[in-house]
A = this chain, B = another copy of it.
Amino acid sequence: MPRTVDHAQRRAMIAEGLVRLAAREGLHSVTMRAVAAEAGVSLRLVQYYFETKAALLHATLLHLEEASHARWRERLAALPGPVPARRFVEALLAEALPTDERSRAFHLVWTSYAVLAMTEPDLAAQPFVAGPRRLERQLAATLREAAGELPEGADPAAEAARLLALAHGLGTSVLVGQRTGDSAEAVLRYHVDRLFTRAEPA
């Protein structure tokens, strides 16, 4: 019988152990035994809660996805009622950059999974396609509604694609150590400034 935690909690603890480990030592060094050690449980327990390694990886991916959604919901909820388009965009992009250590770990592991999915179609490549796609549609819709704040001739769909690709590219460059989080934020601010500027500045 479980001492203090139930099934779902145990699974979450193990999944989080995997994420910590993968963020620290890379997804390639994620082994059943290593995950067990990181989570402070026995190998057998990892086997018990996740039948196979593939299942463990899959479940952890879902865990990551859910955590990301949760953070995004929180951030949206923190905004006051009717959200100006610019605030919405800024909130979105703030989540897209690996700023603190926690966010860095998330992005690192997420990227590792994405690279894995590029050659392993069986490993649900879904999240890495459907997720961004949905986000882009949502963002495009928001921009379309706020067309008045955009420069003339701006294409909401293209702008949405640009924003997300830019944020992702900047995020990666931070992960790899090419630039600091601050400098990435500066570039992003520069972009958003120009996006929401109707006419040339005097």
The chain A residues found within 8 Å of chain B, CB to CB, are 23-26, 28-29, 108, 111-112, 114-120, 125, 128-129, 132-133, 151-153, 155, 158, 161-162, 164-170, 172-173, 175-179, 183-184, 186-187, 190-191, 199-201
- CB-defined contacts of A155 to chain B, threshold 8 Å: 190
Closest B residue to A155 using CB positions: B190
- CB-defined contacts of A108 to chain B, threshold 8 Å: 118-119
- CB-defined contacts of A117 to chain B, threshold 8 Å: 176
Given contacts A169-B168, A177-B129, contact A200 B199 (CB under 8 A): yes
**A63 and B175 alpha carbons, distance in the complex (Å):** 24
Q: Closest approach, in angstroms, between the C-beta of A119 and any C-beta of chain B?
A: 4
Number of copies of this chain that the complex holds: 2
> What are 18 contact pairs spanning A and B, CB under 8 A?
A24-B119, A25-B119, A26-B119, A29-B119, A108-B118, A111-B115, A112-B115, A114-B172, A128-B177, A129-B177, A133-B178, A161-B170, A162-B190, A162-B191, A165-B170, A165-B187, A169-B170, A169-B172
- CB-defined contacts of A119 to chain B, threshold 8 Å: 23-26, 29, 108
Contact B158 A190 (CB under 8 A): yes
Contact B176 A114 (CB under 8 A): yes
Given contacts A152-B200, A166-B169, contact A176 B28 (CB under 8 A): no
Closest B residue to A115 using CB positions: B115
Point out which of A169, A177, A186 has the most chain B C-beta atoms below 10 A from its C-beta.
A169
- CB-defined contacts of A120 to chain B, threshold 8 Å: 26
- CB-defined contacts of A162 to chain B, threshold 8 Å: 166, 187, 190-191
**A162 and B108 alpha carbons, distance in the complex (Å):** 21
Closest B residue to A152 using CB positions: B200
- CB-defined contacts of A26 to chain B, threshold 8 Å: 115-116, 118-120
Q: Closest approach, in angstroms, between the C-beta of A156 and any C-beta of chain B?
A: 12
Contact A161 B187 (CB under 8 A): yes
Contact A128 B169 (CB under 8 A): no
